[in-house]
Every structure is written in C-alpha cells, then in structure tokens.
C-alpha cells in the first residue's frame, strides 16, 4: 500500500517528467477508473454515493492533467501548454460547430446523422492528434530544466525544489 501511495503521489505531482511507458500506464489506469465510475453512477441509488464518485473523478482529472504536464516536461515543453490547449480546443469546437451548421444545416444536431459524424470528427481530430503525439513522441535524452530523465519507473522528479521551475516562472 505504501508503494502504491508513493507512486500515486509521484504521478499526481505536476513537477518532473514522465516517459511514454508511464504515461500509457496512467492512461490505462484512468480508463479503468472511468469505466468503474460510469458503472458506479449507473448503479448508485444514493446521492451521497454519486457525490463520492464525482469527487473521485475530479481526483482522476487532476492526475490526468498532472501526467500530461509531466509528459510535456519530458518533451521539453512548459506545462502551460495544457490550459492553452484547453482554450484552443474550446475555440476550435465553437468554430467547428458554426462551420458545420452553416455548411450542412441543422442536421448536424441529429446524433447519428452523417452531418453529426462530420462535426464529431472535426471536433475530435486535434485532441486525438495531441494525444497520439504525447504518447508517441520521444522524450528528451538526459536531464532538462524539468528534471532528470525518467528511470525504469518512467517517472522523475526535479532533484530539489530549487531545481523545479515555478508555475509562475514558466514561459508558455
């Protein structure tokens, strides 16, 4: 249990680096957690249990975000690319929505229609491309400004707090 909690702390802390193998492990674990959360919401009869599951899902969102930041660090990029990417995705989704409605009409809103499938593909293209890039791009060899190269566990932390870049000091 101690080893699990230690590993969970390393993944949940956005400082440091994570390699492709460790990111894949985190992604698989989070997919399993999300599947269990969906089943839990489906089976839960109590509002309190729904609340507990939702809090658990928020923790999963934190871990996913921290893992993405650590992976960006392994590639030599700032963690500020995460909120920038979320903003860009929001803008892209709005543009794709308006463009598909203007060109294909209101049938875009009919789930399962060919027009909806075009809209869904347009919206999901960039997030899927970014996900594949995070999972397949090789990390920087050796140490970088975010910490040493990840060891066999796939995770590394800055050598000291003084070595870790502060969030406010990172350039986007």
pLDDT of residue 4: 78
Residue with tokens 């993944």: 11
Q: Under a CB-based contact definition with an 8 Å cutoff, are residues 122 and 94 in contact?
A: no
Instruction: Determine the 3-state secondary structure of 155 from DSSP.
Output: strand
pLDDT of residue 99: 87
CA-to-CA separations, 144 to 38, 76, 147, 172, in angstroms, rounded: 39, 7, 6, 16
Q: Under a CB-based contact definition with an 8 Å cutoff, are residues 127 and 115 in contact?
A: no
Q: Which residues contact 105 (CB under 8 A, 6 or more apart)?
A: 115
User: Which token pair is 81?
Assistant: 């690319």
Q: Give pTM, 2 decimals.
A: 0.80
DSSP character at residue 112 = T
Instruction: Determine the 3-state secondary structure of 156 from DSSP.
Output: strand
pLDDT of residue 165: 54
Give the C-alpha separation, 123 to 100, whole Å: 10
pLDDT by residue for the chain (172 residues), tens digit each? 777 778 788 889 999 999 999 999 999 999 999 998 888 888 877 888 888 888 988 999 999 999 999 999 999 999 999 999 999 999 998 998 888 889 888 888 788 888 888 888 888 888 899 999 999 999 999 999 999 999 988 999 987 755 555 544 444 4
């Amino acid at each position: 249990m101690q080893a699990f909690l230690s590993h969970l702390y390393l993944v949940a802390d956005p400082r440091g680096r994570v390699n492709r193998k460790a990111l894949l492990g985190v992604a698989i674990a989070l997919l399993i957690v999300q599947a269990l959360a969906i089943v839990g919401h489906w089976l839960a009869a109590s509002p309190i249990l729904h609340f507990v599951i939702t809090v658990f899902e928020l923790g999963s969102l934190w871990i996913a975000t921290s893992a993405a930041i650590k992976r960006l660090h392994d590639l030599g990029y700032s963690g500020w690319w995460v909120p920038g990417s979320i903003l860009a995705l929001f803008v892209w989704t709005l543009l794709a929505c308006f463009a598909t409605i203007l060109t294909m009409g209101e049938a875009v809103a009919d789930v399962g229609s060919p027009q909806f499938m075009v809209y869904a593909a347009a919206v999901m293209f960039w997030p899927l491309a970014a996900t594949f890039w995070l999972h397949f791009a090789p990390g920087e060899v050796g140490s970088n400004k975010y910490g040493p190269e990840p060891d066999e566990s796939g995770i590394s932390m800055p050598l000291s707090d003084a070595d870790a870049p502060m969030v406010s000091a990172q350039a986007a």
